[in-house]
Structure 1
Amino acid sequence: MSQLLHKAKDFVSDKIGDVVKPEASVTDVDFKRVTMDSAEYLAKVCVQNPYSTPIPICEVNYSFKSANREIASGTIPDPGSLKAKDRTMVDVPVKVPYSILMSLARDIGADWDIDYQLDLGLIIDLPVIGNFTIPLSQKGQLKLPKPF
């Protein structure tokens, strides 16, 4: 009985491994707006759905890092669905408190920008397979809004 279960597990793993899965990429991370206590940025993620049916996005997890430390993180529950056989843009807002930005003053320097790394986990619900996470990572520089 154990051998039969092991063979069935291997068969299913092989078949699922060959299934075409949605692909995603971070297309842009840019300044959005300033509030009284934070700077808000917007990451745009493009997701290609190869299936002829829409796929629900369960949630998006993000971690925004600078100078080797996490400065913002969060979860966006139920951000919508991926269009069938099409590309879907998913917006991921990132809110960074000024208190944390000011503690990064050494990195900001004279050019008033910060080096960042954005790590995302896009969790989608694939038929038969179940929840599937598309991991993404983007590095770059962001300009900070100039003080008044």
Structure 2
Amino acid sequence: MVNPECKLTVLPHVDKVIDMKQNRATFKAKVSITNPYTCQVTVKTIYYTLKTVKKDREMVKGPFTENLPKQLEQQKQEMIQVPMSVRYEHLMKLTNDIGVDWDNMYELEFKLTVDLPWARDHPISRTTIAEIQMPL
């Protein structure tokens, strides 16, 4: 039996800030979710964690609840944009890591919970590691 798929298609980059407040910057990740079934699937929850790889320093984590639960149409792919707000103190630590030992790798993990017609609260997890692109 095929499970729904979750793909991280665009990772948050330092040069992709979508909003800046007094004490935080907000980045955006795009998550592609594919429903391979001939029936609708409901995405109930999305949790995310963004952390540095080398020092295992967590920058931000939390639930994404905007527009959830979401119905995924049968045999369709849908893109969900997930904003992640990172406090400036975490960005400063990241900048220090990059300046000292070029630790500009981060890990982004998404955990989704979906309702299938035959199984409630089915978990799907995806993790990716990538390099943070600093603006020039």
Fold shared per TM-score above 0.5: yes
CA distance in 1, matches of 2:75, 2:129: 29
Alpha-carbon distance change, 68 to 113 in structure 1, aligned in 2, over 3 angstroms: closer
Residue 46 (structure 1) aligned with residue 27 (structure 2):
no
Tell me, which stretches of 5 or more residues in structure 2 are unaligned?
A: none
Q: Aligned residue for 1:129? A: 119
**Paired residue secondary structure (1:143):** coil
- What amino acid sits opposite 1:119 in the alignment? E
Q: Aligned residue for 2:10? A: 28
CA distance in 2, matches of 1:87, 1:128: 20
Displacement of 1:118 in angstroms is 0.5
Q: Aligned residue for 2:86? A: 96
Q: Aligned residue for 1:37? A: 23
- Identity %, equivalent residues: 31
Q: Aligned residue for 2:51? A: 65
Q: Deviations over 1:120-139 (max 9, x none)?
A: 10111111111111100011
CA distance in 2, matches of 1:80, 1:33: 25
Q: Aligned residue for 1:56? A: 42
CA distance in 2, matches of 1:79, 1:105: 36
RCO comparison, higher one (Cα < 8 Å, 6+): 2
Task: Please identify which structure carries the higher helix content.
Answer: 1
Measured on the aligned residues, the alpha-carbon RMSD in Å equals: 2.2
Displacement of 1:119 in angstroms is 0.9
- What amino acid sits opposite 1:65 in the alignment? K
- What amino acid sits opposite 1:69 in the alignment? R
Displacement of 1:76 in angstroms is 1.5
TM, length-normalised to structure 2: 0.82
Displacement of 1:36 in angstroms is 2.2
CA distance in 1, matches of 2:34, 2:11: 19
CA distance in 1, matches of 2:51, 2:21: 20
> Rg larger in 1 or in 2?
1
CA distance in 2, matches of 1:34, 1:104: 17
Displacement of 1:117 in angstroms is 0.4
TM, length-normalised to structure 1: 0.76
Alpha-carbon distance change, 96 to 144 in structure 1, aligned in 2, over 3 angstroms: farther
